[in-house]
Structure 1
Amino acid sequence: MPADLLLVSPPFLSGSLPSLALLHYPVVVKPDQFWGGIDGFWSTFMIRVGTPTQFHRVVVSTASQQTWTVYELGCKSNLTITNKLDGACNDDRGYTYNDTRSTSWKRRGYYRLWLESSLDMGGNGLYGYDNVGLGGVGEEGPTIKNCTVGTLISSDFWLGHLGVNPKPTNFTAFSEPSPSFMTYAFEQKMIPSVSFGYTAGVRYREEGTFLGSLTLGGYDASRFIPNELSFGFSPDNERDLVVGVVGITANGATKKNLNLMGAREQFTMFIDSTIAEIWLPSDICDLVAKAFNLKYNNATQLYLVDDLLHDTLLAENASITFSLGQRAVTNKTVDITLPYAAFDLTAKPPFRGLNTSSRYFPIRRGNQEKQFVFGRTFLQEAYLIVDWERQNFSVSQLTWQYGAPQNITAIYSNEYAHLLPKPVVLKKPLGTGAIIGIAIGGGFSLAMVVCGIIWCICRKRRQKRKAKRNAQYATQGDGTGKDATTEKFQQVGDTPASPTTKEEETTNVIPKAELPADSVRDGKEESLPSPTVEVENNERQIFEMPGDFPVRQEAGGRQLTEKESMVVRERIYNGVDPNETPAVSPLTEEPPSRRPPLLASDVTMFNRSMPSMTNVSPTTPRTPRDGAFLEAGDTFFQPPVPRGGRGVADDTLLSPISPLEGSTDTSRRRFSYES
C-alpha cells in the first residue's frame, strides 16, 4: 500500500472526540451484481446520470477523468426516421443515454475520444455537463453536479466507465479546465482524500464469485495481502500508474519456473482498467504462446483458444507470475500470480470483427513501450490502491476468503492531519528476525547492567579494606608509645635530626619520612622488642669550583699587503702544501710589523745599472710551483741587512734597491715590485 498515509479504520471513527465529527468516511461503491462486456465478463457498477435519473452499468477506468455513457444512437437497429432502439444492445451495453431527456444537461460539443489512442482505439463523442451519482435504487451514493460526461457510439468501448483519475478536462485553451468527479467529491467534503482502492472481481474461483470492489477515499483491507512495496508516479501525465516488470515465469504440471522474459531484464507497463487485455512486448508474447501452445489469429489479432487447448490448459493447471518492482529505487518486488482461469475469457461479436463467440487468451502484441498495458485481466488477481495527492500507489495479491467482512480503511488528506489525535499508520508486525534481534540486544544490555553493579560493589569493598589497613598503619605510630624518631625530634627541638647522631651533629637536611616495616616473624617472637632503627641519612653538600672564562685570543689586526693578498689567492687556486709551516699562528702574538726607521748608514750605493743575473726573470718563477714556497723563510718583513757607510756618489743615492740583489731566495722572484 502507499507509504506515509494517514489511515483510520472504522472503529476509530466511532470515537467520541469532537474533531472526529469533521472527518469523512470513504465512499464504498456497490457493484450491481451484473457481469457484462464483449471482451469477457466483467463486474459492473451502477451510476445515475441526468435529471430525471438515467441508470447505467459501467466499469471503472483508472486512466480516465471523465464519466462515459453509451449514446442512444449506439444501439439503433436502423438509422432511419424511426430510429428504433435495439433492446438487446441497450441491455448488453449497460443502458444508453439520451441527452434530450435530461433537463440538467449542458451541451459542450463533439470531441475526439482521446483515451487509448496509442492502442488504435478511438472514436468521437458528444460531451457536456450533467449530474452524476453513485449507486442504484436503494443504494444511492453521493451525487455531483456539473460533472464532465462523454457519450460514445464506437464499439471499441462497449461499456461506459466511471473515471477515477482526478485530472481536469481541457476542451479549449480559451476556457477554464473542467474538474473531474474525484476532485469535486473531495472539494465538497464527500470523501476524505483523492484516492481509491479497486479490484475488477472474478467469477471463476471455487470459493465463490467475488464481485468488483471500488472504494473512494480509502480501500478494503480485507481483499488483499499487504506488502511493503510502494510505487511512485511516472512523470508522463498520460501514463502515471507505471510499474516495472522484472520477471515473468510460467508454472504448471509439466513446467516449473519457466522464464518468459527472454533477453529482457526489465520493462515498464501502465495499469489501465479501461481495457480488458494485457498488452505485452511481441517477443514475450511469442514466449507465452510457445509455453502454452497458443495460436495467433492474424485477422482478429487475438490468440484464440479451441476446446482441446482449453482442456489441456485446465489439466495443466497453468499459471503466470508477474514480478513487479522498481530496481532504480529498491530491490523489493511483489509477485502477482494469475491462474489460467484468469486468462480464460470469451469474446463476442462485434469484438475485433468476430462473427461468433470464441474463447481467447487475453494477451496482445505491443510494439512500443507506450503500448505495454495491464488491463482488467491483471486486476482480477491484483488489488490497486492509488493516492493521487501523495502521488504513490501499490499493487497487492488478492486474498480469497469468501464471506469475509469488509475492512474499509480511510486514506486522509494532509488537510485533516490536525484533526486526528495522532496519525494511525498501518505497520506490518515485527518479523522473527527483528524479534530475535530485540531479544539479543535486551539481554546484552541487561548483562552489562548486572556487570556494572557487581563491579561497583567489589570496588566499594576494596576501598573499605584499604581504608582499614591505612588506619592500622596510623595507630602503630600513635598508640601507647611514640616513635623513636618523634622522640628524638622532641629532644632536639624544632630542628629535626637523625636519631643515631648527637645533638651537636644535627644538620638542616630533613630526612625522608618512612613507614615502619613489619616483617613476617614466628609467633614466639611477637613479644620480643624490635625497635625501628634507621640508617644515618645526612646528605652531602654539593661544592662547585669557580668557573673562569679563558682570555679570548685574537690575531693582530692589520691590512694585508699586495703580496699577502696574492699568497691567499695562490692558496685558493693552486692549493696548499700540507707540509708547510704556517706563517702566522692565531695563538701566538705576532711581532710588530712596523719597520725601524731607515738611517743614512743603511743605504749602500751601487752602480746605476742592474747587476747581471742569468736566466732570472723578476716576474716569472723558475718553476711552476715557486709561488707555493713564498711563505717558507720569507724575510720580507725582517729588518734589512746593514749596508756600507756613506761615500757613494750622489747620483746613485736615489737608485731603487733590487729585490734580487745579493739574494738567493727563489720564493721572491715572482714579484717585480714591493712597497
Structure 2
Amino acid sequence: MAPSFFGRPAGLGFLLATTLAKVSCRSSVQPVVVPPNESWDGLDGAWSSFDLSIGTPAQKVRVLPSWQSYQTWVVGPEGCSAYSNYNDCVESRGEVFNLSQSSSWTQVGTYEFGIEQNLGLAGNAYFGYDNIVLDDSAQTTIQTTTVGAFAVSEFWLGNLGLNPKPTNWSDDAQGLSLMTKLKNESKIPSISFGYTAGAPYRFSGVPGSLTLGGYDQSRFEANNVEFEFSSDVAKDTLIAIQSIETFALNSSSNVELLPAPIFALIDSTVSQIWLPLDACQAFEREFGLVWDPTYNLYLVNFTLHASLLARDARVNFTIGTKAAGGQTTTISLPYSAFDQTAQSPYQGLATESSYFPLRRAANSTQYTLGRTFMQEAYITVDYERAKFNVSQCVWPQNIGNASEIVIIEPAPASENGGYSGATSGSTATTTSDAAGSSSGLSGGAIGGIVAGSVVGVIALIGFVAWYVRRERKKKALSEEEETGDESSPSRDSVSHTTIGDGEKGTTVFPKAELEGSTVHEEPKPSLRPESSLASPSTLGWGGSTWSSTQADPMSPTSEAGGLEIYEMPGDMPDIAQADGRTITEKEMMRRREEVYNGVDRSNPVSPTTGPTERRGVQPEEVVLRSEIRDDGEANSRPNSRFSFE
C-alpha cells in the first residue's frame, strides 16, 4: 500500500511518513464515532448537536464540538433562571448540568473562559472535574475530566472541547484535556478528529459527523491540500482565503466578493462567517443585504428572503496554504447554507427573524469561518503531526448508512511535531514483529546505557543550573552597585523570571487585576519559542489589504503544534463584586486579614462537592446596556449576560 494521509493513496491525498489504515486493518484501538442527536439546536441557526452524559448519576446534555476549547462546557441551571419559562429555556439550551446533584463533581473554582475574546464573547464558569460518557456504541467513559458549568448567553449551547491542550489552574495544578485522556487510556488511536457540522437543508436534514481518532471518508471529496498548524498557537487551524466568488445575477460571469486575500481561522465554536468590512460591503451589493446596526446582523425581510431563495446563488471559497499561490481547494456553499433564522434573545432580538450569517470583522484577529462554513466542509485535524485538511462535503442519498471510518494512526516519536498525548506514567508503546527478539543489545546492556545517560544528564543539568544562578547573582549585584536601586523587579521582568530552588525552577507569573475587580493570572507564555512572523496588516476598520512581502502567519515554527499549557484566568471573588468597582489593594489586604482571623463571612471556603446554594438572576436584575450604533446614536437593549458571583 502506498504511503498516504487520511487513508488515501499518495497520488490522491497527503504525504506523511506514516501509513494510515482503515478500521478493519492495523490498529487494535478503534476511533470513537460520536453519533449526532436528532435535534437541531441553536438561537442563531439550526445546528446538529451531540449527546453527552455528565456526572453521577448521569445528566444528559447536548453540546457542539469545538477545537478552540480545551475543556467541556455545559450550561448550568443559572443560565435559565432569568427566563420566565424555565423549562423551555432548558430545552433550548440543550439541557442543564446541575453540579450540586453530581456526587462525582470536584470543584476547582470560578474562572473566565479564555477563548473567543477577540470576537467579544466573554464569560466565566464554575470549573471542576467530573465523569463524561460519550453517546457512542461503547458508551466511552472519561473519568475526572475538566468541565465548566456556565450561565452567560454569549454561548447558548455547551461544547465538547477537542483541543488537547491541558488547563493549568496554578503552578502545581493541571487538568488534562478530554482528548489527551482518551489517548492515554487507549480509547482512541491518536489525538485527532474528523468533523462536519451537518446540513438541515440537505434532503430531510443530514446531521453532523464527529469521529475521534480518525475520520469518515464517506463524507467528503478527497483533495491534496495539506495545511500545517499556524505559528499562532491560539489559532491552529488558520487558513488563507484567496478568493470568495459567486456568479452574477442572470449571468455566468464571476463576481469577486473578497477584495484581497486574508488569513482566517476555521472555528466551529461560533456560527457565523466574519470577514473584513470591504468584503461584507461586496456581499451587500451583490445580494441586497442591509446591515442592521441595532442588532449587528444582516436581517433579511420576507421579500429579500424570497428573492434570494429563488436566485439560489452559490458562494465559492478558495482556500489555500498561502495568500497567493501554493496548494488550494474550493469549498462551495449554496445559498441554503446562508439561509439562517435567529431567535430571541439572540443579539437582543425580540422576535424570530431570517438573517444572513455574515458578520463585520473589526480587525484581522476576527476573521473567522464558523459553523456556517462547516456545513459544506469536512475538517480532519491530526494534532500529533500538526497538520489538517479541509475538503468539500459530498451528499449521497444513503449518507446515513455509508460511513467509512478510517483510523489516523499515532505518529512515531521521531515525527511527532504536535501532541503526543502521553503524560507521566502513561506513554505510547511500540510492539515488535517478533516477541522476545534477541537482536540488538541485551536488556542489561541497554539498562546500563540508560542509567549512565540519566546520571550524566542530571549532572549536566545541575552544573548548568549552578552556573546560571551564579551569573544571575553576579549580574544583580553589579546592577545594584551601579544604580543603587534595590527595589523589586518590574512587572515585565517578573513575568519571565525563573527562581531556582536547587534541582528545579519555578516560573513566576504575576496576578493581573481586570475591570470589575476580576483578579486572574495572566496566561503563561508558549512553551515553544514565540514566532516572529507577522500577521496580515489591516487598513482602517476591517480592511483586508495584504502584501506579498509580508511574512506568512501560517508558516510553522520549528516546533509547530508543540504541547502548550494554557492557564485559566484566575479565580474570581466570591463576594458580589464581579460587575462592581475595582478592589483596592488596601481592601484586598483587609479581606485577607479577615479570612486569616476567621471573621470573613462573605468568603466561605468553596465546597468540594459543588455549591449548595447559588443566587439566581432575577428578571429585574437584567439591566440595560448602552451601545453606540454606526450612525452615532445610542442604543439600549437588555443585557442578557450573567457572570457567576
For the superposition of Structure 1 and Structure 2, which TM-score range results when normalised by the shorter chain? 0.5 to 0.7
Q: Partner of 2:474 in structure 1?
A: none
Deviations 1:280-338 (A, max 9, x none): 01110000111100011000010011111111111112111000012379622100011
Q: Partner of 1:242 in structure 2?
A: 238
Q: Which amino acid aligns with 1:239?
A: K
- What CA distance in whole angstroms lies between the structure 2 residues aligned with 1:104 and 1:111? 20
- What CA distance in whole angstroms lies between the structure 2 residues aligned with 1:255 and 1:374? 27
Q: Partner of 2:513 in structure 1?
A: none
Q: Partner of 2:164 in structure 1?
A: 166
Please say if 1:346 is aligned against 2:341. yes
Compared CA separation, residues 85 and 50, structure 1 to 2 (3 A): farther
Identity of matched residues, %: 40
Q: Partner of 2:155 in structure 1?
A: 157
Please give the secondary structure, in 2, of the residue aligned with 1:118: helix
Displacement of 1:142: 1.1
Q: Partner of 2:382 in structure 1?
A: 387
Kept in 2, the 8 Å contact 1:133–1:140? The answer is no
Q: Which amino acid aligns with 1:153?
A: A
Please give the secondary structure, in 1, of the residue aligned with 2:236: coil
Instruction: Considering fraction of residues, name the structure with more helix.
Output: 1
Displacement of 1:208: 3.5
Kept in 1, the 8 Å contact 2:271–2:372? The answer is yes
Identify the match of residue 7 of structure 1 among 20, 36, 52: 20
- What CA distance in whole angstroms lies between the structure 2 residues aligned with 1:384 and 1:257? 30
- What CA distance in whole angstroms lies between the structure 1 residues aligned with 2:39 and 2:268? 17
- What CA distance in whole angstroms lies between the structure 1 residues aligned with 2:97 and 2:208? 24
Please say if 1:46 is aligned against 2:51. yes
- What CA distance in whole angstroms lies between the structure 2 residues aligned with 1:222 and 1:62? 22
Identify the match of residue 258 of structure 1 among 232, 251, 254: 254
Compared CA separation, residues 262 and 372, structure 1 to 2 (3 A): closer
Q: Partner of 2:282 in structure 1?
A: 287
Q: Which amino acid aligns with 2:387?
A: N
Q: Partner of 1:310 in structure 2?
A: 305
Displacement of 1:203: 1.2
Compared CA separation, residues 282 and 253, structure 1 to 2 (3 A): closer
Displacement of 1:417: 9.7
Displacement of 1:255: 4.0
Structure 1 outlier segments of 4+, above 6 Å: none
Q: Partner of 1:125 in structure 2?
A: 125
Displacement of 1:262: 5.0
Compared CA separation, residues 326 and 414, structure 1 to 2 (3 A): closer
Deviations 1:364-407 (A, max 9, x none): 00121110011000000000000001000000000010214110
Q: Partner of 1:529 in structure 2?
A: none
- What CA distance in whole angstroms lies between the structure 2 residues aligned with 1:153 and 1:238? 24
Identify the match of residue 66 of structure 1 among 61, 71, 76: 71
Displacement of 1:56: 0.4
TM-score (structure 2 length as normaliser): 0.60
Kept in 2, the 8 Å contact 1:6–1:417? The answer is no
Q: Partner of 1:476 in structure 2?
A: none
Q: Which amino acid aligns with 2:114?
A: W
How many residues in Structure 1 have an aligned counterpart in Structure 2?
A: 403
Q: Partner of 2:264 in structure 1?
A: 269
Please say if 1:400 is aligned against 2:398. no
Q: Which amino acid aligns with 1:230?
A: E
Kept in 2, the 8 Å contact 1:7–1:410? The answer is yes
Please say if 1:180 is aligned against 2:177. yes
Identify the match of residue 414 of structure 1 among 411, 415, 421: 411
**Which ranges of structure 2 fall in alignment gaps of 5 or more residues?**
1-5, 7-13, 413-427, 434-645
Kept in 2, the 8 Å contact 1:276–1:375? The answer is yes
Q: Which amino acid aligns with 1:144?
A: I
- What CA distance in whole angstroms lies between the structure 1 residues aligned with 2:192 and 2:140? 16
Kept in 2, the 8 Å contact 1:231–1:393? The answer is yes
Kept in 1, the 8 Å contact 2:244–2:256? The answer is yes
Compared CA separation, residues 328 and 59, structure 1 to 2 (3 A): closer
Kept in 1, the 8 Å contact 2:257–2:283? The answer is no
Displacement of 1:132: 1.1
Kept in 2, the 8 Å contact 1:269–1:374? The answer is yes
Deviations 1:411-430 (A, max 9, x none): 01025895598xxxxxxxxx
Displacement of 1:99: 1.0
Please give the secondary structure, in 2, of the residue aligned with 1:297: coil
Please say if 1:355 is aligned against 2:350. yes
Compared CA separation, residues 122 and 256, structure 1 to 2 (3 A): farther
Q: RMSD between aligned alpha carbons?
A: 1.9
Instruction: Considering fraction of residues, name the structure with more strand.
Output: 2
Q: Which amino acid aligns with 1:11?
A: S
Q: Which amino acid aligns with 2:29?
A: H
Q: Which amino acid aligns with 2:404?
A: N
Q: Which amino acid aligns with 2:139?
A: G
Q: Which amino acid aligns with 1:306?
A: N
Identify the match of residue 226 of structure 2 among 219, 225, 230: 230
Q: Which amino acid aligns with 1:161?
A: N
Q: Which structure 2 residues correspond to residues 442-457 of structure 1 after superposition, within 5 A?
A: none
- What CA distance in whole angstroms lies between the structure 1 residues aligned with 2:325 and 2:178? 34
Please give the secondary structure, in 1, of the residue aligned with 2:181: helix
Please give the secondary structure, in 2, of the residue aligned with 1:225: coil
- What CA distance in whole angstroms lies between the structure 1 residues aligned with 2:312 and 2:45? 20
Deviations 1:112-150 (A, max 9, x none): 1222111111112111111111017xx452111111101
Compared CA separation, residues 226 and 257, structure 1 to 2 (3 A): farther
Identify the match of residue 197 of structure 2 among 193, 197, 200: 200
- What CA distance in whole angstroms lies between the structure 1 residues aligned with 2:168 and 2:359? 31
Please give the secondary structure, in 2, of the residue aligned with 1:338: strand
Compared CA separation, residues 299 and 399, structure 1 to 2 (3 A): same
- What CA distance in whole angstroms lies between the structure 1 residues aligned with 2:23 and 2:196? 21
Please give the secondary structure, in 1, of the residue aligned with 2:371: coil
Kept in 1, the 8 Å contact 2:75–2:151? The answer is yes
Q: Partner of 1:513 in structure 2?
A: none
Q: Partner of 2:186 in structure 1?
A: 189
Q: Which structure 2 residues correspond to residues 301-340 of structure 1 after superposition, within 5 A?
A: 301-327=296-322, 331-340=326-335
Q: Partner of 2:491 in structure 1?
A: none
- What CA distance in whole angstroms lies between the structure 1 residues aligned with 2:382 and 2:429? 15
- What CA distance in whole angstroms lies between the structure 2 residues aligned with 1:310 and 1:72? 36
TM-score (structure 1 length as normaliser): 0.58
- What CA distance in whole angstroms lies between the structure 2 residues aligned with 1:161 and 1:263? 34
Please give the secondary structure, in 1, of the residue aligned with 2:350: coil
Q: Which amino acid aligns with 2:319?
A: L
Displacement of 1:261: 4.5
Kept in 1, the 8 Å contact 2:243–2:258? The answer is no
Q: Partner of 1:75 in structure 2?
A: 80
- What CA distance in whole angstroms lies between the structure 1 residues aligned with 2:362 and 2:127? 32
Please say if 1:32 is aligned against 2:45. no
